[in-house]
Each structure stands twice: as C-alpha cells, then as structure tokens.
Amino acid sequence: MTTPIRLSVSEAAKIFGVSSRTIRRAISANEVNYIVVQGRYKIGFESLLKWSQSSTTVKNKRDRDGIGQFVEQWRIKNKLFSPNPNKLKNPDTE
C-alpha cells in the first residue's frame, strides 16, 4: 500500500492555479477528501485531481496557471525510450 500524498490549502491553491478560498469552498462542499492535522487541512492529491477535472473553470485555471501548464514539457522527446508501439497494440483489434 502506498502512502497518500496530502497537500495544505495553500500548496493545493498554488499547484492547481486557484485561490485558497476556492480550495476552502471545495472542502466545505465535501468535494475533496481531507484530514485535519494539528488544526490544518491536509487534502488528498488524488481527490484534488478528480475535483479539478469536474469543473470547467477549475480545469482551465489548472491548465493555464497551475500544474497543467507544464504538461507539454513532460512529454518524452527521445523516441529511443518511448514505449514500443507494437507492444501497445490492442490484441482485440488484430
């Protein structure tokens, strides 16, 4: 079992490109999973991702101002280390 990644309200706001107030509204509406540690919210990263995909406004802010703006830089440029397309073929289509 892996240890879940948890973020504070301010960390989540920075990563997803929204305000802390928006994160707190999501907590109040029970749209994200969280725990309270020493009086501070710790929000599950997985639930934040699901939440960010549920709203068009949040999704656009995430992609423009948050973590989504870096996705293009993460793409594999060296094809030598890319997955072999022959191994990715669906056996049902052959």
CA-wise closest residue to 29 among 9, 7, 51: 51
What's the confidence (pLDDT) of residue 68? Answer: 81
Whether the per-residue pLDDT at 7 is higher than 80: the answer is yes
pLDDT by residue (tens digit) across 14-67?
Answer: 999 999 999 999 999 999 999 999 999 999 999 999 998 888 888 888 888 888
Q: Does the pLDDT value for residue 94 go beyond 60?
A: no
Complete domains list, the chain, with CATH: 6-85 (1.10.1660)
Does residue 93 carry a pLDDT above 60? Answer: no
